A and B are shown apart, each in its own frame.
Chain A
Amino acid sequence: MEKLMINQVSKVYGEKESSVKALDSVSLNVKEGEFIAVVGPSGSGKTSLLAIVGALLKPTQGSIKLNGIEMKGLTSSQLTKIRMNQIGFILQSSNLIPYLTAKDQLLLLSHMAGNNGREYRNRAEELLSNLGLAHRMNHYPEALSGGEKQRVAIARALMNNPDIILADEPTASLDTQRGREVVQMLVKEVKTRKKAAIMVTHDERMLDLCDRIMRMTDGKLTELRA
């Protein structure tokens, strides 16, 4: 079962002379339970790809199907709903809301989806505990280390049980040990709950945990290892 189908997607930023071709006919299919790594030099278009798949950015050309649904024709409010319910985005910088405690960062997601209840508080606590943050649940971002913030952002991305996890260098601010644990946890989440994941990473040591490895160079995506 294909969770995600990226077909001939191109992205051009800007107009005419100053235009930058960030993505050049990128195609990629991701199956249920598949964990894909994307590597590549800085500026090659990795974040752009995630932004397009994550419905934050419209491709210049090509089509994206999420759970078999073509995203091209959807209105912006439909896309917002998809972002809330089906996509878990882990941003390159953790981007937490400064005035919410770690637990509230997660509860905001379920609250927006209209879910307020004991079970959701339990889920938030469980997610944070799994990421080693049991003792940080009621801390504000200002009181968390960079790695802790990143882990809260990861937990937040999983909160609404999304179909697809998009992670932009999620382990950049973690040490190797922690980084591996976090990726292992993401892999487990993907396998057991039949999700799909794309992770952009610079960290070679994480690659053995991934099912497929893709390389992005100058907007072109090629398979390194299947």
Chain B
Amino acid sequence: MFLAWREIKHSKLRYLLIGLIIMLIAWLVFFLSGLANGLSTANGASIQSMKADYVVFDKNSSVSMLRSLLPDSMVDEIKKTPGVKDAAPLGQLTVSIAKVNDEEQVDATILATEPNSFLVPKINEGTSFHNDSNEIILDDSFKSYGYAIGDQLKIIQSDKVLKVVGFVSNQAYNHMPVLFMDIQHWQTLKFPTEQSKSGIENPVSVIAVQKDSDFNKDILNQISNIDVVTKNTALQNLPGYSAESLSVNMMLFFLFIIAAFVLAVFFYVITLQKSNQFGVLKAIGANTAFLSKNLIMQVLIVTAIGILVGVVLTYGIASVIPEKVPFALDNLTVAIYSLLLLVIALLGTILSLGRIAKIDALQAIGRVE
């Protein structure tokens, strides 16, 4: 500590520059992770936040909500299966909607279920929808389009009219805001003709399952022609979901590698420059442990400050970012990535520590500063 802080104070510019690089890397890491988080939220928030443990798909659907069709009667069959606490049907449909007497269209995802099922999110404003009605509840983001309780909306594809009765928050599916409605009403939208039901009576898209402590996936899977997957698997199988998070995570991964190299090289070059000085220090009685501790302290001080400023910068920018940008910071992720950067910086010092251990006190003799 004696040397670490004094040197930073004396060579302000040098350490400021390193701190700046660390800050920029940290900022980039946090920004990318915010973007990754925002993208996956925009894609799967509604699935992620639903209070279900498993999702039952039609066996031939390849875990696609778009293709999956199951008879409504199966909900009761699943409910009776041992280990199942509750089950609820879920219907999905992508539509464009507009206010009656207004041309501005908004793309949205309809998620439909039974009025009192566990799939209905907490209502922020207004009431829930009722059985077999054209009532809907909207995600908060619809408010930015000027939608309010009591509004009449039309579905462009079918000229059916819907009535807004409530609002919920943070509901998104496939990068579109979500509106919730009753499953029976949804069936009239999704299957306007008998033919489109493919011979299934009262079809629904999938069935969400809440498990009990004695749940056994294999027992549930014995029902013919279904595929039981965890909620997380259902999430990963959303269109584009894995691809999006994979590409951003790849960027993050490489960023961490680059950070490791940049920091390791920085401190190594500084250590090389100072090898004569380390020789002098060893000649007057400093041991390798003392010098190593000082280097580690310096790296910790500079990296921690750099990361901290990076965090502040990230949250600052996050607060002014336009709402349409899918950006969502997760405090836990920021904390974990901060720690990871710190660990990477410390790993990078191993190279320099090896160098310090090798420096000979004899180097101090007969040399000019």
Residues of A within 8 A of B (CB): 47, 51, 54, 56-57, 77, 80-81, 83-85, 89, 91-100, 104, 107-109, 111-113, 140-141, 156, 160, 168
Q: Which residue of A lies closest to B363 (CB)?
A: A56
Question: In the assembled complex, which residues on chain A have CB atoms less than 8 Å from the CB atom of B362?
Answer: 51, 56-57
Q: Which residue of B7, B10, B277, B365 is within 8 Å of A92 (Cβ)?
A: B365
- Asked if B281 lies at the interface with its beta carbon under 8 angstroms from chain A, I say yes
Q: Which residue of B lies closest to A89 (CB)?
A: B283
Asked if B277 contacts A56 (CB within 8 A), the reply is no
Query: How far is B279's CA from A83's CA once the two chains are assembled, in angstroms?
Result: 13
- Asked if B11 lies at the interface with its beta carbon under 8 angstroms from chain A, I say yes
Asked if A80 contacts B287 (CB within 8 A), the reply is yes
Q: Which of B285, B368, B369 has the most CB of A within 10 A?
A: B285
- Asked if B254 lies at the interface with its beta carbon under 8 angstroms from chain A, I say no
Q: Which of A98, A156, A160 has the most CB of B within 10 A?
A: A98
- Asked if B324 lies at the interface with its beta carbon under 8 angstroms from chain A, I say no
* A94 CB, nearest partner CB in chain B, Å: 7
Asked if B366 contacts A83 (CB within 8 A), the reply is no
* B166 CB, nearest partner CB in chain A, Å: 66
* A112 CB, nearest partner CB in chain B, Å: 6
Known contacts A91-B365, A92-B365, A98-B277; A111/B285 CB under 8 A? no
Known contacts A84-B284, A109-B285; A56/B3 CB under 8 A? no
Q: Which residue of B lies closest to A54 (CB)?
A: B283
> For residues 337 through 369 of chain B, which have their beta carbon under 8 Å from a beta carbon of chain A?
361-362, 364-369
Query: How far is B10's CA from A97's CA once the two chains are assembled, in angstroms?
Result: 11
Question: In the assembled complex, which residues on chain A have CB atoms less than 8 Å from the CB atom of B367?
Answer: 93, 95
Query: How far is B331's CA from A96's CA once the two chains are assembled, in angstroms?
Result: 46
Q: Which residue of B lies closest to A108 (CB)?
A: B2
* B265 CB, nearest partner CB in chain A, Å: 22
* A111 CB, nearest partner CB in chain B, Å: 5
Q: Which residue of A lies closest to B7 (CB)?
A: A99
Known contacts A51-B362, A91-B364; A112/B286 CB under 8 A? yes
Query: How far is B2's CA from A104's CA once the two chains are assembled, in angstroms?
Result: 9
Asked if B366 contacts A99 (CB within 8 A), the reply is no
- Asked if B6 lies at the interface with its beta carbon under 8 angstroms from chain A, I say yes
Asked if A99 contacts B10 (CB within 8 A), the reply is yes
The 9 closest A-B pairs by CB, nearest first: A84-B285, A99-B10, A83-B285, A99-B7, A95-B280, A80-B287, A111-B2, A93-B368, A56-B362
Question: In the assembled complex, which residues on chain A have CB atoms less than 8 Å from the CB atom of B11?
Answer: 99
Question: In the assembled complex, which residues on chain B have CB atoms less than 8 Å from the CB atom of A89?
Answer: 283-284
